[in-house]
Structure 1
């Protein structure tokens, strides 16, 4: 009897042994004096008189509460009294503190009941499972000192789960294990050496009871083996094998039946060797450790691994132990392994052999992939670098040969590591360019590209915009009848940085998605589509775009210039290298603002613009900011601050003010001059003294009369004085005697006899004035008087007299305007 199972046995009464009717026994189970279970047992006449038994499993441990069973019989509607009550005492009368059951193993998903016996003098607090999730923990009272907790144990546990009981004084508990019964399956028995049998199976769901209740196995007369083996008499016959697995929660039995001659699991080939190695083939050999394998029909798999590539080769034969591998890469390292199985009755593949590493011999390189790009007057011939599995050895150099019709081939060698060459070819003719690679085993097959001629009337192909997506570009183009051998798509950075790459496309395909590890965000790329023809490639389409645009950094416009044009201001900048920018520019915005107003904007959608103009600005200090408009927003900000000069209205006002000031100044000057005119006239036009003659230059005073009617005070000018020294030569060769003659009147006989007081008849031509004559001959211009006035422009109507004109009042007249004679004192000093 376990601590939760009741087993009750009894015998029939002697009086019932001869009865021919069914006898019924009634049973009741009482826990802590409360009926918890009722059952009936029927006894037929054929078993009447034999011992009877009945069992029942309680959900509660017997240690938790007293259990009792009572029995009575019922026959022909007559019921007997309850008899022989069996009592299983609990522990409530013991001075203990425990949780029951202890160290019990439960199956996950089952319901379990635990009880807590509280010591005398203590008060129950609660029950719970320590560290266990998902269980509802509501305890119920069984008796005065006993409490129970019923739980659904959903989760298995590799370690024990502690059931805790807590009182007002202390806490204590019991360890419980939760797991599963064995779940082993798929028993299979086979032979490897054709002398013994080996059986194996699959372990299903884990039991989680390795600490408390390990699973015990029994197979082929052996215990607890996971792969059991047994020597047998080998023959072509079927046999049976049985496996039994058991733990505290249950057991399972597995059976298998097979003919071992059809279940041969081969060992791995031994001593794998590369017997013959060539550049593109190799022979593999191995041996067998089981002699019986030489008589079997065997199929083998050879796994060939190189770089990131795996290949499987199958071969078969009786006792197979040699295989030939072909189509290998020259100068390449391989790793191979082999496994085999029976071909007639295939059961399963055998074990893999140890890995064998070998290297093939070298060979000439493969043909190069050659392309070209034409840039102005030069042609860039480029080729893709051969990969390690294409070079078949270390590349020494490249040979580039080009020619045109009627000319001798030209050749140049390019060292390894350089995969391009720039040629200066005549643009008017086609050229055939051939490139080969060379290693120590020889040269590769020639690769040819035809460089087309560029005629002056050749139609240009427009460049269209393409947007990148998914880290690359998606291109499509119309089919071309001339593209007999397909298409070539090439791409390169528009700025010229980076390398050129290309892709070959078959003739039936007119679209492609280009994804390259060399693509960079913020780089503009040129993509071209060429048709492959029998001659030179034909350009069909050209595109330009970004894989992904990025924000242009600030200070894009590094050369902002400010120019004022009246009330307008022009902000200009140097042309931007659009192909070097990290985003496509769609236009420009110019923001301007002074310290008193909010920002204003002028814009343009021309990406090639280099200036923007703001009109009708007033005089102030402004900040001008230029931004580039892209799909990502405005970026590349650059600013300049400038102060506007005076505007036209201010200039005119300044002019008017200046003229007004000048007018006022002139008016004041005029008034002052008018009031001080006498002083000014004295300073500017002093009066000319009349000539005074001394004895040496005597003449009747009546002969020196000034013609006052011909001159006014305004006509008086300062003229040079004539200084006379007797005997001293005068300018222009005139002596004092000549002057004395000139000033001495010549009297005719009539004048000598004329009485005193009668006017003389001397004419002006009889008197010569050297200074006046000199002035007329040298300085005077025709039509001008001695004072620079015209004959008709004199304010007094002055007109110079001719030499033949007689003086009105004297026979001799000296015009004071022309000659200023010294005073008598001065004359005396000079003489």
Structure 2
């Protein structure tokens, strides 16, 4: 029993000694250092700790500005003379605040006291400063910046990043912090972190970027003696200035890494090999791998010294050389690129060590070409080489190509115009000297009537009978000879044929034309176009047989100008007209004043406004109708009449009131109502209108009568002769009897009508008188006039003939063209008794004609007897006045 008590006492004493020893196992030689924002703690164990059998645990605690921010516990195996270390990176720059690290050990349930080391922050600053300065961050990370103020600064600090103010935390009386999530790349120039104190800003720079992001490594050989590797930059690091990215290939540095290429001299052998590229910067690194057999990845260099050894009109021979001798042993294929203007032609040639005698055919004569060459391996083809340096050459000239010939006929006039397109420089093969044109009827065949046209002329008008068919041949000539002949057959035109025109509307500067297929179109179709009005040079295009649509575009198209488009079927004989259309590339509004002959006419209470048909040359759009507007004298719209007839020439405004109106006529087009023309009209009442008609009629009649009167007055003589011709008056000749004595005969003068001039032969009237003897019943008394009467056969309206009583001898009186007017009769006293009758048988009538005797010339005692003889000659009148 005593023995067990002693053993228990010994065990308790032993346990107390161990516990005492455990309590004395504390860290020794504790040190604290830093690098940037990383804290490094080192310490060693006491010698007594080596006797411990179980692991020893250490506790680590970090305080920033005396505030715990991190705690960590980790075990270590005690060893005699062992040294331990621990590091931790602070999210805050060490300059911003003090950092304290506390360390203690724990064994079983016994813990040693804390061992403590402190790194103080920056002690004093003269002006506010921002930390950290120029630090590198990866995109997506979280950063804490601080602003440290001088002692005694009373202003509050405000911090902003990238010009954006953020929430600021006050860490101490002189320190403020800003926490930010960096989700963008700053670029090589960095991002400003600013601290505003009062009116001034203070700051630092932060660099935000990525680790290397290169990809797609690919290795090859160019000369079979080295390896060339290329890769792509998948993403820029944005920190090239702050942290460059070095590259290595198989551990060797790359000289041209900035060009994404790296080369090394190696022994190229058959078989695959692993090629490794490494890229590293301060934020990370990337490793790229490519496995390749370089003998199957030969990327040749461009051919050198390319020359055109033999140049002909339509082909050329090329030669070149290699700078790499190994190429002459390879099976090579090469591409030859020939370019002229914007046209490129590529041909491919294959051979072992190919470098000469490559012939390129189908060239254009008299043309300048540029040629380049590139090559690659024929077997296990990898890549084409770069193109060689460009070399040019000029082919020899040749005869021109065949002309594109077309016809232009006029439906209303005789004659045909033959047109041909000007040959392009690539078709003429030299300067054109002239064109030869010949023609003959279709039934005759062959070219006759040859003529020559100058090189600047591309059409010829032929005065041919369009009712007959003709064949026309045109050739172009240059110094090398004539082109192949181009022949076109002109169909006979029939005057009675009619062609239906349909409308077509332009779009995007041209016409989109479609037509129905024709079985007659054995060689395709021809579409030509020309302005509808005026002379023009026809243009045309050819369309293949399997195509029934075309896009018509020309540099000569003008807006507002109507064009006629015709579609012909190309046959072995003459072209066949299929359809014809008219349209505008773009319709334009017609200018005002379209209706230049605007007139109006009142019809009761209606007014008809009319105009002449609109000339086609003045229509800049399709006219679909007309509209008439009317404004009364108060400018109120009272008339709105329209028609959809494009050929109408009048519109009527009905049921208008009396007054003044202004009428406006416009043409309706796709461009709107246009061509405005205006006329003013005044409507009168119906009674006023009738009065006007009567007055106008009276004035018209009065004017006509006035004109007739003036004309009649001026030509009265001619009118009187024509309507009421004069009857000739006898010429009277009186012979006195011998008993009257000598000197008793005197001439009897009768006044002539001075209004009439005529060539009438005189009517001779002979009167034989015997003194104191009766003659034919006429009796003269003393101091009495001679009196005689005529029978009813005579002239009732005869003038009084006065015969003087004393006449020394016989006389002759001449009377020409007696007047039809009734002159005033001189009344004489009739005497009863026998009278003398005229010897030609005239009988007296009831009216007595007295011939008075002048008493001064004839005495009262002188008797007189006479015989009157009348001779009549029909008068002759002139044909016109």
C-alpha separation in 2, matches of 1:452 and 1:6: 106
Match of 2:403 in 1: 368
C-alpha separation in 2, matches of 1:25 and 1:632: 95
Of 277, 291, 300, which residue of structure 2 is paired with 1:266?
300
Of 25, 37, 45, which residue of structure 1 is paired with 2:58?
25
C-alpha separation in 2, matches of 1:13 and 1:311: 90
Match of 1:672 in 2: none
- The answer to whether the 8 A contact 1:337-1:354 is kept is yes
C-alpha separation in 2, matches of 1:489 and 1:249: 71
Give the 3 Å change call, closer, same or farther, for CA 340–467 of structure 1 in structure 2: same
Give the 3 Å change call, closer, same or farther, for CA 773–187 of structure 1 in structure 2: closer
Unaligned runs of 5+ residues in structure 1 are 660-728, 745-769, 787-802, 805-831
Match of 2:386 in 1: 351
Of 130, 137, 148, which residue of structure 1 is paired with 2:177?
148
C-alpha separation in 1, matches of 2:394 and 2:408: 39
Give the 3 Å change call, closer, same or farther, for CA 52–570 of structure 1 in structure 2: same
Match of 1:414 in 2: 453
Shift in Å at residue 303 of structure 1?
A: 2.0
- SS across alignment from 1:389: helix
- SS across alignment from 1:302: strand
Give the 3 Å change call, closer, same or farther, for CA 65–615 of structure 1 in structure 2: same
Match of 2:95 in 1: 63
Of 275, 283, 286, which residue of structure 2 is paired with 1:252?
286
Match of 2:148 in 1: 117
- SS across alignment from 1:9: strand
- SS across alignment from 1:202: strand
- The answer to whether the 8 A contact 1:118-1:146 is kept is yes
Shift in Å at residue 743 of structure 1?
A: 13
Shift in Å at residue 398 of structure 1?
A: 1.7
Listed as ranges, the matches of 1:149-298 within 5 Å are 149-153=178-182, 154-168=184-198, 170-219=200-249, 221-222=252-253, 225-226=256-257, 227-233=261-267, 235-236=269-270, 240-298=274-332
- The answer to whether the 8 A contact 1:157-1:177 is kept is yes
- SS across alignment from 1:292: helix
Match of 1:604 in 2: 643
| 1:342 pairs with 2:380 | no
C-alpha separation in 2, matches of 1:738 and 1:2: 193
Match of 1:670 in 2: none
C-alpha separation in 1, matches of 2:79 and 2:455: 105
Of 36, 40, 54, which residue of structure 1 is paired with 2:69?
36
- SS across alignment from 2:396: coil
- SS across alignment from 1:185: strand
| 1:380 pairs with 2:417 | yes
Unaligned runs of 5+ residues in structure 2 are 1-33, 699-747, 752-766, 768-777, 788-795, 802-817, 826-830, 833-881
Listed as ranges, the matches of 1:656-671 within 5 Å are none
Shift in Å at residue 48 of structure 1?
A: 11
Instruction: Provide, for residues 554-590 of structure 1, a one-character-per-residue CA deviation record: whole Å limited to 9, x for no partner.
Output: 2222343455667655444333222552111112223
Give the 3 Å change call, closer, same or farther, for CA 534–21 of structure 1 in structure 2: same
C-alpha separation in 1, matches of 2:369 and 2:295: 36
C-alpha separation in 2, matches of 1:772 and 1:420: 93
C-alpha separation in 1, matches of 2:518 and 2:195: 89
Match of 2:548 in 1: 510
Match of 2:337 in 1: 303
Instruction: Provide, for residues 675-718 of structure 1, a one-character-per-residue CA deviation record: whole Å limited to 9, x for no partner.
Output: xxxxxxxxxxxxxxxxxxxxxxxxxxxxxxxxxxxxxxxxxxxx
- The answer to whether the 8 A contact 2:49-2:78 is kept is no
C-alpha separation in 1, matches of 2:459 and 2:693: 71
C-alpha separation in 2, matches of 1:265 and 1:650: 105
State the superposition RMSD in angstroms.
4.0
Instruction: Provide, for residues 642-695 of structure 1, a one-character-per-residue CA deviation record: whole Å limited to 9, x for no partner.
Output: 556785436549989xx9xxxxxxxxxxxxxxxxxxxxxxxxxxxxxxxxxxxx
Shift in Å at residue 274 of structure 1?
A: 0.3
Moved more, 66-75 or 527-536: 66-75
Of 435, 440, 444, which residue of structure 2 is paired with 1:403?
440
- SS across alignment from 2:426: helix
- SS across alignment from 2:417: strand
Shift in Å at residue 730 of structure 1?
A: 12
Instruction: Provide, for residues 370-423 of structure 1, a one-character-per-residue CA deviation record: whole Å limited to 9, x for no partner.
Output: 221210322222222222222222222222221112487222222223222222
Shift in Å at residue 301 of structure 1?
A: 1.9
Match of 1:446 in 2: 485
- SS across alignment from 1:466: strand
- The answer to whether the 8 A contact 1:190-1:264 is kept is yes
- The answer to whether the 8 A contact 1:136-1:151 is kept is no
- SS across alignment from 2:295: helix
Give the 3 Å change call, closer, same or farther, for CA 742–537 of structure 1 in structure 2: same
Shift in Å at residue 63 of structure 1?
A: 0.6
Moved more, 279-288 or 539-548: 539-548
Give the 3 Å change call, closer, same or farther, for CA 618–93 of structure 1 in structure 2: closer
Instruction: Provide, for residues 746-785 of structure 1, a one-character-per-residue CA deviation record: whole Å limited to 9, x for no partner.
Output: xxxxxxxxxxxxxxxxxxxxxxxx999979x99899xxxx
- The answer to whether the 8 A contact 1:400-1:434 is kept is yes
C-alpha separation in 1, matches of 2:394 and 2:301: 27
C-alpha separation in 1, matches of 2:181 and 2:543: 67
| 1:549 pairs with 2:587 | yes
- The answer to whether the 8 A contact 1:363-1:441 is kept is yes
Give the 3 Å change call, closer, same or farther, for CA 470–360 of structure 1 in structure 2: same
Match of 2:868 in 1: none
Instruction: Provide, for residues 260-294 of structure 1, a one-character-per-residue CA deviation record: whole Å limited to 9, x for no partner.
Output: 43343322211110001111111110111222222
Listed as ranges, the matches of 1:35-54 within 5 Å are 35-43=68-76, 51-54=83-86
- The answer to whether the 8 A contact 2:104-2:115 is kept is no
C-alpha separation in 2, matches of 1:2 and 1:566: 115
Of 555, 571, 583, which residue of structure 1 is paired with 2:621?
583
Give the 3 Å change call, closer, same or farther, for CA 500–738 of structure 1 in structure 2: farther
| 1:393 pairs with 2:430 | yes
- SS across alignment from 1:64: coil
- SS across alignment from 1:649: helix
- SS across alignment from 2:323: coil
Listed as ranges, the matches of 1:733-752 within 5 Å are none
Match of 1:463 in 2: 501
- The answer to whether the 8 A contact 2:336-2:373 is kept is yes
| 1:558 pairs with 2:606 | no
Give the 3 Å change call, closer, same or farther, for CA 48–283 of structure 1 in structure 2: farther
Give the 3 Å change call, closer, same or farther, for CA 500–309 of structure 1 in structure 2: same
C-alpha separation in 1, matches of 2:500 and 2:786: 106
C-alpha separation in 1, matches of 2:540 and 2:279: 66
C-alpha separation in 1, matches of 2:372 and 2:46: 82
TM-score (norm 2): 0.70
Shift in Å at residue 13 of structure 1?
A: 5.7
C-alpha separation in 2, matches of 1:527 and 1:181: 69
- SS across alignment from 2:96: coil
Moved more, 611-620 or 443-452: 611-620
Shift in Å at residue 169 of structure 1?
A: 6.0
